[in-house]
Amino acid sequence: MKLKRILIGSIISIMFSTFFIAQNITYATTAQTQLYLGITALMSGDQVKTGSNGETGYLGYAIGNPKTANTQDKVNAATIWNIVEYKSNSSEDNTYSSDRSIFCLKSGVGFKQTSDRQAYNEYFDMKKEKDAIKSQVTALSDVIEGSVTVDDGEVNRYDAILAMLDMFYIKGTEADRKALLEQAGIDLEDYDEGEFLNGDDIKAVQQAALWYFTNSKNTDDVFDNTQKDGNWLYYTTNGNTYAAFSSFDPEQDGDANNGIRSKKK
């Protein structure tokens, strides 16, 4: 499983090391209809074999083991929820879509449980409306003027977020996935497709990397994994029990239908 830890580490490192491109990026926002969003513990994109008998399902992810209780003084773990879209705000509407790539800007703010539905109807151009976001989005007010350590230097959290969002892999865009992995030193042609790192894995790591800039207040909390090995990322197949992702064995636990979970050719 050493290769898997290297892959995760490489992807998160490439996100941290190219923050400077934000200066030339523009984010445009167009009028959109209201979104009704909720959360699930499991992803719903890349189905994998989840048991030795051949059954298939989806993985869920977390930073650390979310079954370890957090305290008022210390966050020990954070679930990486799959944010899904419903057609209405009705609790009777149980059909959702996971087609959009939607990320949570700050862990611990928003949904309280998986049955919650929330209507979203405010949009900001993050490049042009920084002041409006600072005054209207309470959860990000401290982020906009804050700084965080990257490669032994201090960078503005908000600028780092803009750069990171521009680099994000959006599920379904194969060219972008390939480009991201190649920047991390991973050539898809060197691997057997269907194994080591799939789109959901990348989405989970991207969410964790984003939270480093929005949640990390010091170097020893759960959101700073820049100096840790791959054991910080946990997974679940049922939404209840979690184990270190580095222990996931594709040869025993199953093959993904998209990604690189296999050894080199």
Q: How many CB atoms lie within 10 A of CB 100?
A: 13
Structural domain range at position 43: 2-253
- Whether residue 138 lies inside any domain: the answer is yes
Burial (0-12, 13-18, 19+ Cβ within 10 Å), 67: middle
**N- to C-terminal Cα distance for the chain?**
16
Residue-wise pLDDT for 11-61, tens only, equals 555 555 444 333 333 333 344 578 888 889 999 888 887 776 777 889 999
8 Å CB contact between 253 and 49:
yes
- Whether residue 259 lies inside any domain: the answer is no
Where b means 16+ CB within 10 Å and e means fewer, 153-176 reads: eebbbbbbbbbbbebbbebeeeee
- Whether residue 258 lies inside any domain: the answer is no
Residue 194 to residue 51: CA distance in whole angstroms: 16
226 versus 32: the higher-pLDDT residue is 226
Q: What pLDDT is attached to residue 21?
A: 34
- Whether residue 179 lies inside any domain: the answer is yes
- What pLDDT band is residue 199 in, cutting at 50, 70 and 90? confident
255 versus 143: the higher-pLDDT residue is 143
Q: Where are the alpha helices (DSSP H) in the chain?
A: 2-17, 130-136, 141-144, 157-167, 174-183, 199-215, 250-253
DSSP 240-257: S--EEGGG--HHHH---S
- Count of structural domains within the chain: 1
- What pLDDT band is residue 88 in, cutting at 50, 70 and 90? confident
What is the four-CA torsion angle of 132, 78, 244, 201, rounded to 10 degrees?
-30
8 Å CB contact between 161 and 214:
yes
Residue 173 to residue 183: CA distance in whole angstroms: 16
9 versus 254: the higher-pLDDT residue is 9
Could you give the C-alpha distances from 86 to 101, 115, 117, in angstroms and in order?
A: 14, 12, 8
Mean pLDDT rounded to a whole number for the chain = 75
Residue-wise pLDDT for 69-86, tens only, equals 777 777 888 999 998 889
- Whether residue 262 lies inside any domain: the answer is no
Task: Identify which of 142-146, 167-171, 247-251 has the greatest average pLDDT.
Answer: 142-146
- Whether residue 48 lies inside any domain: the answer is yes
**Average pLDDT of the segment spanning 256-260:** 38
Q: Which amino acid is at 182?
A: E
